[in-house]
Amino acid sequence: MPFVEDPAHLSIARLKSDLLAHNVALPPAASKKEVYVELHLKNIDQKNAAEFSSDDEEETREAARESSGFEHSRDKDPEVTQMPDPSDLTDEYLREALLKHGVKAGPIVASTRTLYENKLRKLLLHSNGDDELYSDSEEEQEKRDDIESVLEEQKPEEAKKIKGENDKTFSITQMVQEMESRGSLSDCTVKELNSSRVGEHCSRSYRFAMNDLDKSRSTDQSLYHTPKDVHPPRGMKLPQESGKPILKDLFPDTKPTTTGIYVTPRRPIKGAAQRPVQYSYSYPDTLVSPVTLERREVERRLVSIHIQILFFFFVACILFYIYVNVQDSTVLALLDSFSHCFDKEGWAFLQPGTEGTQAVCKQD
Amino acid sequence: MSTTSQKHRDFVGEPMGDKPVIALSGIGETLGKKLEEQGFDKAFVVLGQFLLLKKDTEMFTDWLKDATGANSRQAGSCAQCLKEWCDAFL
């Protein structure tokens, strides 16, 4: 340790790790910080003072403390004191210890040694203090230190729960939490926000801030999480003028958020980019009767069916009229003349016409 | 569109050769100076450290934070940059 820090300024996690590093028995789990500070002062500061003395003295002192620490804490934390300080281990032992915890270490050289030692310490800490409140690793703490510092001042419990969240939570969530905590809303609401995963539409409306706080804290991911590849589950976006009862009616299972921001993903706009409106499949075929289908098909042709039917009857009438009038010679002559005209073009199937027919042909 | 910076893309796009440490994504003047003080004067030396840690980005970020006082974002960016370079060229 190059410099001595005032233990009161360290966090409990740091104090614990220091105590473990110096092979001191940890106090019971729910101890206050003062207890840790006391132990730290008692043991570690002693050791720091001893650093300036000779190596032999230090070793003996350490051995004495180790043994006393071992006996003293055997009934409390046997697992901790059986493992010596990682910095005292040789490279081989360090590698073995890491392997025991499931970590395959690379080469332990000068530059990597401290890293592996710290890793082992962290693993020891985790294996002993998982059920405690401040069990998060230092890494996670550093990741969110700028936001955490604000939150820890105000709501230490919720701040730890933020760290426990999935890494996928956007930083906007934490900014919102910051704003939320500053906005002096109740504790419950902060917890609710931590447990919900708010998407990018996070900061829209603050209308429903004071909604039911008695509701459960379960996450409502379908409502708030809006990733691009998931079809949005809900319908319209509510107008801001609508009051609280309307929201309750429309979305009865809405979980109240801490900031009062409710996210209702909008139905995708038809006709917007990459969502072209497709009319061709909008009418299902099963609802239309086959007759209607036939009529439609026919209608697509040039002539409608009514006209076709009329034309058919008209032609039938003409033929009937001709048939009826076959007995009359004039009609017969007329018919013959028609056939004679056709004969001219090479159609020879009727009797050759007389002068009368020729006259008729000429008339034509 | 990826969220990598231009520096990242420049580094990952070609073999690093003799590039200085500040060519690494996330490493600016300050951090570069601190690395050089410790002997990491070229990007390939930092690569060496990364490889020693078996290309574990987490451990590398820890090391970088410890060695230079980098914050999580910078260290993470550097680790990611090196990892991608390794995937491409190693």
Does the pLDDT of residue B38 top 80, yes or no?
A: yes
Taking the C-alpha atoms of residue B36 and residue B21, their distance in angstroms, rounded to an integer, is 8
Percent of chain A with pLDDT over 70: 34
- For residue A238, the model assigns a pLDDT of 46
Taking the C-alpha atoms of residue A292 and residue A286, their distance in angstroms, rounded to an integer, is 11
Taking the C-alpha atoms of residue A355 and residue A137, their distance in angstroms, rounded to an integer, is 123
- For residue B86, the model assigns a pLDDT of 95
Taking the C-alpha atoms of residue A303 and residue B16, their distance in angstroms, rounded to an integer, is 77
Q: Is A271 left (phi over 0), alpha (psi -120 to 50) or beta?
A: left
A290: confidence class by pLDDT, cuts 50, 70, 90:
confident
Nearest beta carbon to residue A115 from set B59, B71, B72: B59
- For residue A37, the model assigns a pLDDT of 77
Evaluated on CA atoms A326, A328, A332, A335, the torsion sign reads negative
Q: Tell me the pLDDT of chain B averaged across its residues.
A: 93
- For residue A287, the model assigns a pLDDT of 63
Asked if A25 and A80 touch (Cβ cutoff 8 Å), the reply is yes
Lowest average pLDDT, out of A88-92, A202-206, B3-7, B23-27, goes to A202-206
Interval A28-73: pLDDT, tens: 666 677 777 777 777 766 655 555 555 555 455 544 454 444 444 4
Interval A299-349: pLDDT, tens: 666 678 999 999 999 999 999 999 998 766 666 677 677 777 666 655 555
- For residue B44, the model assigns a pLDDT of 95
- For residue A246, the model assigns a pLDDT of 60
Instruction: For residue A236, give the DSSP letter.
Output: P
- For residue A164, the model assigns a pLDDT of 47
CA distance A163 to chain B (A): 15
Residues of B with CB under 8 A from a CB of A: 49, 52-54, 56, 58-59, 62-63, 65-66, 71-72
Name residue, tokens 């926000």.
Answer: A193
- For residue B59, the model assigns a pLDDT of 93
DSSP-assigned beta bridge partners for residue B62? none
Q: Identify the CA nearest to A116 among candidates B46, B54, B78.
A: B54
Q: Residue A139: list chain B partners with CB under 8 A.
A: 58, 62
**Chain centroid offset of residue A18 CA:** 39
Count of domains forming chain B:
1
Asked if A37 and A15 touch (Cβ cutoff 8 Å), the reply is yes
Q: Domain holding B29: CATH number?
A: 1.10.150.40
CA distance B29 to chain A (A): 22
B83: confidence class by pLDDT, cuts 50, 70, 90:
very high
Averaged pLDDT, A223-244:
49
Does the pLDDT of residue A102 top 70, yes or no?
A: yes
Does the pLDDT of residue A194 top 80, yes or no?
A: no
| Residue B29, domain extent | 4-87
Dihedral over alpha carbons A134, A136, A137, A140 (to 10 degrees)? -120
Q: Tell me the pLDDT of chain A averaged across its residues.
A: 64
Q: Is A5 left (phi over 0), alpha (psi -120 to 50) or beta?
A: beta
Asked if A177 and A258 touch (Cβ cutoff 8 Å), the reply is yes
Interval A133-179: pLDDT, tens: 555 555 555 555 555 555 555 555 544 444 444 555 555 666 766 67
Taking the C-alpha atoms of residue A363 and residue A293, their distance in angstroms, rounded to an integer, is 49
Taking the C-alpha atoms of residue A297 and residue A194, their distance in angstroms, rounded to an integer, is 61
**Chain centroid offset of residue B84 CA:** 10
Interface mutation target, options B3, B59, B63, chain A, most CBs of A under 10 Å: B59
For residue A34 the two structure tokens come to 């003062």
In order, the DSSP letters of A263-326 are --PPPPPTTSTT-----TTSS-GGGS-HHHHHHHHHHHSSS-HHHHHHHHHHHHHHHHHHHHGG
- For residue B5, the model assigns a pLDDT of 92
Taking the C-alpha atoms of residue A355 and residue B60, their distance in angstroms, rounded to an integer, is 119
Q: What is the CA radius of gyration of chain B?
A: 12
Q: Residue A115: list chain B partners with CB under 8 A.
A: 53, 59, 62-63, 66
Taking the C-alpha atoms of residue A342 and residue A347, their distance in angstroms, rounded to an integer, is 5
- Top pLDDT among A276 and A56 is at A276
Nearest beta carbon to residue A142 from set B53, B58, B72: B72
Taking the C-alpha atoms of residue A228 and residue B90, their distance in angstroms, rounded to an integer, is 34
Nearest beta carbon to residue A106 from set B54, B66, B71: B54
- Top pLDDT among A314 and A83 is at A314
